Structure 1
């Protein structure tokens, strides 16, 4: 249920407020919005009367936000952005049904997108929109139908569908290792003599990998990256050895940029999940996408 009408200002008034707050004068805002100076001033007057709170103080021609006005502008900017994104999604989808999906960037690029190609061809009436999110969020505040989550089942209030279990492989470029690939595969401890690259979201990954290969390694240091794509690129440039998940390691090996430095993948406890809010029924389009991914997981 919507709030009472008196608490719902017009979009025109909010646009005028945001423009004046950003540009400093009603004249500049009028030029940007293709309105007259008096029209912008009228919008601001109506808005202040509607909410009964002063939003500006006048200093000559300049309009200075009050503290309450600044807080309000910060809030309505988020609202206007959300409204614009919703309109853009609708315009992009046209008459088709849409699924708005939050994805992890590397998994989205190398695992999900290749599988979505067949889905889009089989379901031309469904549009899948992808946006990057690196951590769990509140489905009540973000307009996503579902998301890709890595780790354990620790995201509260969602249902889980497993897509892929994490399995990792040390990878490096020939620029770094030369002709030593076979020797390095046979002796995991030899990797300690090479620069080892790290991912922020996988602390202790190298120590764990060495321990499970029977090698004692503590305090392994090296370059730190916040995304798998940066980690893989650094490895391809010869900056060090990277522990990459199977979907990315396979892609890099296929592109002949990196080669494997272990005879097999090491399976981990973490998995990639398709999650959606428990309280919201899945749309028919999301159900179809979920079934398609389940058959290809």
Structure 2
């Protein structure tokens, strides 16, 4: 059921309020919205009248939002973004059949995108729109139908499909360990250990798998695997990389294994979606196709 009209202000007035909160002046709002200042003022006044509460503090020629209005804007900003995204989605795909997917950047570049040609051939009526997100987010505040996420799938109000588990390997530039003998995993503790932002406990978990207690590991932190891989290649330390990502560099000789072989980490990859999207046809088609990809996959997408 749609709320009563008095609780559904016009988009124009909400845009004016949101812009005033963000830009700080009616002049800037008018310029952004391609309107006159008087038109902006009328929209704000109409909004106050409709809601029956003061939203704007007017001091001489300056305008600023009341604390309550600032809280209100924080909530409607996400709704305005959702409306804009839904409108764009309709324009791009007027017949429906699109899926907005949040992906991890390396996963998208190295695993998903190369396979999407097959998906497009099998399902030409479904368009996949992708944006990268490194960390979990609130689906209610983001324009996504689903996300591919590493870690745990305990997002509030969601369902999930487990994809694959990760195999990791400590690697470094050959010169970094050329003069040393690494006979045991604990020997790696004497080297700089590069860390990835999305896996803050990766090293401690790796050491624990060998029975080595290593608490409080410190080292340079990188936000993506592409940058930490380059750091390792240039001799800045030892990186714990997914085996699929390390393999090309190992074959080229730019990296070598610092110790052992690829082992299973404690993390897995999941497709996650809001429960209210479970009946979305495009999502079901994509989910079923993903299952066929991971059933025969020896490596691991990230």
Q: Secondary structure at the match of 2:279?
A: coil
Distance 1:114 1:247, change over 3 A: farther
Q: Which residue of 1 aligns with 2:236?
A: 239
Q: Which residue of 2 aligns with 1:267?
A: 264
Q: Which residue of 1 aligns with 2:144?
A: 144
Aligned length: 294
Distance 1:167 1:6, change over 3 A: same
Give, in angstroms, the shift of residue 238 of structure 1.
Answer: 1.8
Give, in angstroms, the shift of residue 177 of structure 1.
Answer: 4.3
Q: Which residue of 2 aligns with 1:250?
A: 247
- For residues 188-219 of structure 1, what are the alpha-carbon distances to aligned partners after superposition, in whole Å with 9 as ceiling and x for unaligned? 45534432112344344334434544667565
- For residues 58-85 of structure 1, what are the alpha-carbon distances to aligned partners after superposition, in whole Å with 9 as ceiling and x for unaligned? 2222223222233333333333223223
Contact preservation (8 Å) 2:206, 2:265: no
Give, in angstroms, the shift of residue 4 of structure 1.
Answer: 0.9
Higher alpha-carbon deviation: 3-12 or 204-213: 204-213
Contact preservation (8 Å) 1:175, 1:237: no
Q: Which residue of 2 aligns with 1:4?
A: 4
Aligned CA-pair RMSD: 3.1
Find the aligned partners of 2:153 and 2:16 in 1 and give their Cα distance: 45
Q: Secondary structure at the match of 1:124?
A: coil
- Tell me the TM-score normalised to structure 1 length: 0.82
Higher alpha-carbon deviation: 250-259 or 4-13: 250-259
Matched, 1:281 2:278: yes
Matches within 5 A, 1:74-113: 74-95=74-95, 97-113=97-113
Give, in angstroms, the shift of residue 53 of structure 1.
Answer: 1.1
Contact preservation (8 Å) 1:55, 1:68: yes
Q: Which residue of 1 aligns with 2:297?
A: none
Matches within 5 A, 1:40-55: 40-55=40-55
Q: Secondary structure at the match of 2:273?
A: strand
Give, in angstroms, the shift of residue 272 of structure 1.
Answer: 0.8
Contact preservation (8 Å) 1:25, 1:61: no
Distance 1:115 1:250, change over 3 A: farther
Contact preservation (8 Å) 1:145, 1:282: no
Find the aligned partners of 1:205 and 1:125 in 2 and give their Cα distance: 40
Q: Which residue of 2 aligns with 1:293?
A: 290
Higher alpha-carbon deviation: 262-271 or 130-139: 130-139
Give, in angstroms, the shift of residue 29 of structure 1.
Answer: 2.9
Unaligned 5+ runs, structure 1: none
Give, in angstroms, the shift of residue 13 of structure 1.
Answer: 1.3
Unaligned 5+ runs, structure 2: 295-302
Q: Secondary structure at the match of 1:125?
A: coil
Matches within 5 A, 1:79-228: 79-95=79-95, 97-174=97-174, 176-177=176-177, 188=185, 190-213=187-210, 219-228=216-225
